[in-house]
Structures are given as C-alpha cells and as structure tokens.
Structure 1
C-alpha cells in the first residue's frame, strides 16, 4: 500500500489551498488529507498555538494509518518540521516548503506591528488581503486559497507562537528524509543552506519562476516534486521491507 499524505496550509489560508495537489494525489491512488490548523478555515474560532498545530497533524496522521508523508507550506512547513521532530514515528518523509528562514524576533516584531495596523482598518484588511492575493497568484490559485476563507485575525497569535519555534534544532532531530522546496523568488529562502545543513537526510529543490506561495504559483512543478519525493520514500521503504524479509 502506498504511503498516505497529510498537507498543512500556510498562514491565514486553509486546507482548500491544496486542491491541485489533492487532485493529483487522487489520480495516482494516494490517500491524502489536508487539515485546517487552529485559528484557520473551519477552525477559525479556535486559538492558534504551535502545540495545538502539531497535535492537528498528529491526529490527521492517525486517521490515515499512523504514518504519513507530510507536506507543509510556510507556517505549515514550520509546523511540519516541529511535528516531525516530536513525533518521529509518524513521519516517513517531510516536504517543508517556503520556510527556510529562522523566525528572528526582530522580523516577527516588525511583522506584528504591520499586522496590528492592518487590523485597525474598517474591514480588518479584507480588501487589502484580497487585492494582494489576486495580484500574487494565478486565477486558479487565488480561487483555491480563498475558498476556505481568510483568517484575518490570527496573525499576531501565530507570530507570538513563532518566537519559540526552533526549526534548525528540530531539523537536526528529524530522522526521516526531508525535502526543502522554495520558489526562486521566495523571500523566505534566505537561510536555505543552513536549513539544508541542519538536516540529517535533506535535499533542496528551488522551483524556477515561483514566489513564496510556490504550490499555488507553480502547482504543476510543485506537484511533480512532491510525487517524485513520495516515490523515493516508497522505494526506500520497499528496500527496507525486502531486506527485513
């Protein structure tokens, strides 16, 4: 049986951002589930914490059999890294996209000031958010990312939680193979070489002509990387089973 997949979305988005990848996984016969993190999507009323986010991934993996290949983008990538370090038995492989920068306090503080300012707008920034989404993404990607609604009020909760995130230390603890996937024009790829060096078993893929939301800007290329990674993990597991037999 092929390895199932759990997909974890980015900040302010929801599980609907993975429509293209879920469709591709269905076509190749992979069981897959995309989750909503606390404070997002159908769980928008819940407070966000990193521990609750890790629990969300863990619970999703239990529903698909107890072990999975985890795919996360941006916030979802950081959550995936943290989960893999803390629940190693659940993770056969990890694709962490658009999350190759440490959450430095100065960066988080500046972002938080901007988020508080946007929250003071009459619509809490909904029109600005919609404008930026339509500007940054192709039409299909914009529809997918918006289908589950935008979590306009969760940003500062996430930023507070990210002050305790330790992705480099966590990557050093992850035994499963790791794929770091970044868009060529992603502002979050500044420390990708440090992230790669921290991995026990890592590889780096840079997707041409893609920005931070790489799975939405270049869905076909991103999906190809994901499926190739899954095949490699399956091949490794098959070798292991043959040797054990």
Structure 2
C-alpha cells in the first residue's frame, strides 16, 4: 500500500486489528524485514503497521530533505492518515534514532517505545567521518561499499554459517535501496543528537531489546540504556546478532508481544478504517 505523506509516496504494510504497533526498519533495509513480526503479532490481535522510510524500499526517494525530524514527521503523518491516534512504536537500529526523535517531539502519539537493537548516543567524530566517507562513495557510484560495511556484521557468526540464504536475502534488500536514501540517511544519522543524558525525561513505557551476539550494539549497552529510562524493561535475545528479529523470530516476537500486552491499556484499540483521523 502507498499513501501521499508530506509530498512523497510512502509505502507501508498494514495488517491486523486491535492495538497498533508501528515498526520502523533499520539502515539500509526496508519494511520487508518485519514480515515475521507482522504475521505473528497481527495473528495475536494487534494491528501492525510497517512503513518504508523515505528513500527506502518502495517509498519515493527525493533527492534531498532527509533528517531524523523528517523521518519522524512522516511516521506521525502516516499514523494520522491511517486513523491511529497513539501506537506502540518499535525502532530497530536507525529506526530507534527515529523513535527517540518521536519521543522528543511527538510523545503524545507514542503509547509505548520499543528500542530494538539500537543505542541512545550520537556518533563520535570517527563515526561521523565514516558515514561521510560512505556517503561520498555512494555519490561516486561505489554503493557496494555500504553493503560491505554492514552485511558482514549484521548477523551472529552462527547465523552466517547456518542460514546463508537469510544473509543473502538481507543483502538483496540493501541493493534495492536508492542512492538518495543511502546518502540522506547516512547524513541524518551523523547529525542526530545524543539522547543518553535525556532518557530520564521519557516516562513512556519502554522496552530495550538486544541480541546476545550483536556486534553493532553490544549486549552490555542494553542494561544501562534500560536503567536510564524511568519506566522500562529489557530482554536479550540469545544466539542473535543485529538482525535478531529474523535470526530468532520466536524469541523476539515473544518479548515484543509481552510488551504490547503490557502497554495495551494505553492504545487506541479499535481500528479506524475511515481514512484521515
């Protein structure tokens, strides 16, 4: 499905009925990564919405205008278009950065915040330089550098050995991401603020989930992240790397579903199919 959101065509999946869950994908991926969660949680009595961020998947890719503010505003406008007043929002990796922006600027729309394999800190100088280098390589037609930088560290070593088809599938999603989306998101991530010292301001019920073998967001960062949030819980997915939702979908879904049930009192439970709210 597609909707005209903030002057671009945004692609999204919308399945199920009940309390709403909005899932925001990571970089450089797309909403297809959420299929195991869409199937399981919609069958369990939840409405699951998974958009492609601008520049990714099947969404339109403008040449400019990428920022965490813009990504967050797109999510809010899509929720309004779909008649969703409040939702639990789950953000994986880059999607977690968007979620932090939502909590800062649109907290009334967030009934629960699921931080999925993500972090609260901004890039350091080396990280900003690396993102700038990758963006420049994409401009030079060397976009395979992005795939090379991310594909090999997204998975637990056991996943790479035992599920090579899954690794190949995720690589194929990366190859479909537009150049504009890659460049825009790299620059947006480099410019994002640090929220670690501000987590105490966010009283929204929160979940912080990590992968036991995540090499991008190490397991030891999860407990401090959760502890800094006033109203949070956490879980670690065993035998999983940065793509825990695909590597260990059953354990991932159980943790996320428990959080959805915990937050269910705060939702707009009835589905509104009438269009704009």
Range class of TM-score, shorter chain? 0.7 to 0.9
Q: 5+ residue gaps in structure 1? A: 239-245
Deviations 1:123-166 (A, max 9, x none): 62189559937994643575367458334553443333232323
State the distance in 2 between where 1:181 and 1:116 align: 29
Q: In structure 1, how many angstroms separate the alpha carbons of the residues matched to 2:247 and 2:134?
A: 24
Query: Which whole-Å CA distance do the structure 2 matches of 1:192 and 1:32 have between them?
Result: 25
Residue 188 of structure 1: how far off its partner (Å): 1.6
**Distance in 2 (alpha carbons) for counterparts of 1:131 and 1:66:** 35
Quick check: 1:161 aligned with 2:179?
A: no
Query: Which stretch of structure 1 is more off in the superposition, 45-54 or 5-14?
Result: 45-54
Q: CA deviation at 1:75?
A: 0.4
Cα deviation, residue 25, structure 1: 1.8
Please give the alpha-carbon distance, in whole angstroms, between the structure 2 residues aligned to 1:154 and 1:98: 21
Q: What SS does structure 1 have at the residue aligned with 2:201?
A: coil
- TM-score computed with the length of structure 2 as normaliser: 0.73
Q: By how many angstroms is 1:215 displaced?
A: 1.2
| Deviations 1:24-57, CA, capped at 9 Å, x for gaps | 1221131111011122122352232111111122
Which whole-Å CA distance do the structure 2 matches of 1:127 and 1:12 have between them? 8
Query: Which residue does the alignment assign to 2:5?
Result: none
Cα 1:128–1:232 shift into 2, 3 Å = closer
Judge conservation of contact 2:139–2:179 (CA < 8 Å) in 1: no
Matched, 1:59 2:77: yes
Contact 1:9 1:15 in 2 (8 A): yes
1:191 aligns to what?
221
Distance 1:198 1:118 in 2: 37
Separation (CA, whole Å) in 1 of partners of 2:119 and 2:142: 32
The whole-number CA distance in structure 1 between the counterparts of 2:122 and 2:113 is: 20
Partner of 2:10: none
Aligned to 1:9: 25
Distance (whole Å) between structure 2 residues aligned to residue 135 and residue 95 of structure 1: 19
1:171 maps to 199
Structure 2: which 5+ residue stretches go unaligned?
1-16, 268-277
Superposed CA deviations along residues 171-228 of structure 1, whole A, max 9, x for unmatched, are 3332211101111122323533432232111122111111112212222211111111
Pair 1:135–1:6, CA change in 2 (3 A): closer
CA contact (8 A) 2:135 2:186 kept: no
Match among 98, 120, 125 for residue 117 of structure 2:
98
Separation in 2, partners of 1:53, 1:60: 11
What's the counterpart of residue 271 of structure 2?
A: none
> For 2:68, which of 39, 47, 50 is the aligned residue?
50
Match in the other structure for 2:138: 119
Is the partner of 2:151 in helix, strand or coil?
A: helix
Hey, what's the Cα distance between the residues in 2 that align with 1:191 and 1:42? 33
Aligned residue for 1:7, secondary structure, equals strand
CA contact (8 A) 1:183 1:208 kept: yes
Residue-pair matches, total: 237
